[in-house]
Amino acid sequence: MHARHTTVPAAVLLAVLVLLLTTAAAEETAVSTEGGIEVSRYDGSAWFEFGGRVAIDGAFYAEDEVALGDGTELRRASFEAEGGVAPEWEFEFGCDFADGTADVKDAALCYTGLAATRIVIGQQKTPFSIEELTSAKNITFLERALVNELVPRRRIGVAASHQADTWTASLGVFGEAFDDDADDEGNEGWSTVGRATFAPIRDDDLAVHFGAHASMENPDSEREVKFNARPESHVTDIKYLDTGKIKRVEEILTWGAEGAAVFGPFSVQGEYISCSVTQAPEEEERTFSGWYAYASWFVTGESRDYDKDGTFGSVKPLGRLGALELAARYSTLNLSDGEIEGGEETNITVALNWYPNSHVRFMMNYVIVDNDDCADADGDVDGDDDPGIFQLRCQVAF
């Protein structure tokens, strides 16, 4: 097992090295780097990009009753590769090694021969939620908001996405993630997920964005589902919010709305997500929901980079000392409904981010956590625990 952990990244690096040695020497290729590497043929027939990221976290908990465990964590340590193997045929592959095993992220084949429509087959993010679809290296806070627990994660499937000047539309049909097979030989769960966005204003430092997303999911043969969430900190393993296993699940319908706006150095973003779980035999419906809203201000004048695909990209500092960002978020999630008492939690976060350049970021968050009586990690800890969290991150993306 240990050998597998070390040989996988080594094999990736070796493959990259071989590719570079064989392509960089050819006069038909252009090679450039900003830490990662990009190689592309001048006839456009093939290209390759290799990069990655490392994120190191430290968290200190102002504990209430429950021990959360101060500590450090390698939050992300991943390689990412994408390329075009022939005109109109591309691939994506990413793998994270932060927890000591190879956690495959994107692994997909893409067809781009339909003008502004892109077809992706393989493991990928489902088209749901601006916060989820924005790369973790570009989100404003250390962790996504609590309500992200309701978002369908990466899955294997086929999706089509179309980008126009002011709108996007995506729809996909998915099975489960590569490591998410049912224990027995039963059928996988499957889902249909779609998202539409509209950006009536989109300029370099100005954007207004609206979006909606929905997912209809049928669970695997075990017909069980469970929602649980840490406070907005990943160093601790305590997940106050926990529904426990919800059994006899027939269908899961999740939907949401999102909005964002950028006005020069100021920006706001928010989402509401609701998830209804239908249980047999009486077709009882349990509904969980949450939302968040936040505001950000670049003291040094930069703007968040709104992309045409309805997500946010990386920030490019203007000044010699880099970019400085202040942000605050209100976030809440309710996992209680009827007999299911998963708890309700609210987090209020203030953030300070420093971007010395467009590849490096230092982040500092202070989170005020407010749990209700039912937020007890499915009975493992006391409810109504209200800690504070001070956490830091050092991140490099290349």
Q: Which is nearer to another protein, 48 or 240 (CB)?
A: 48
Sorted by sequence, the CB contacts under 8 Å of residue 142 that are 6+ apart come out as 57, 75, 232, 233, 234, 351, 363, 365, 391, 393
Taking contact as CB under 8 A, which single stretch among the options 94-102, 112-120, 373-381, 387-395 is the one that binds another protein? 112-120
Q: Are 368 and 388 in contact (CB under 8 A)?
A: yes
Interface residue with another protein, options 69, 71, 113, 356 (CB under 8 A): 113
x-marked contacts with another protein along 202-241 as a string, rule CB under 8 A: -xxx----------x-x-----------------------
Q: Which is nearer to another protein, 161 or 233 (CB)?
A: 161
Minimum distance from CB of 124 to another protein (Å)? 14
- Site for another protein contains 368 (CB under 8 A): no
x-marked contacts with another protein along 37-56 as a string, rule CB under 8 A: -x-xxxxx--x---------
- Site for another protein contains 171 (CB under 8 A): yes
- Between CA 193 and CA 156 the distance in angstroms is 12
Residue for token pair 């781009």: 112
Q: Which is nearer to another protein, 252 or 381 (CB)?
A: 252
Sites for another protein among residues 298-357 (CB under 8 A): 300-303, 316, 318-320
Nearest of 61, 79, 20 to residue 238 by alpha carbon: 61
Size of the site for another protein (CB under 8 A): 47
Summarize as ranges the residues that interact with another protein (CB under 8 A).
30, 32, 38, 40-44, 47, 84, 87-88, 113-117, 119, 158-160, 162, 164, 169, 171-173, 190, 192, 194, 203-205, 216, 218, 250-251, 264-265, 300-303, 316, 318-320
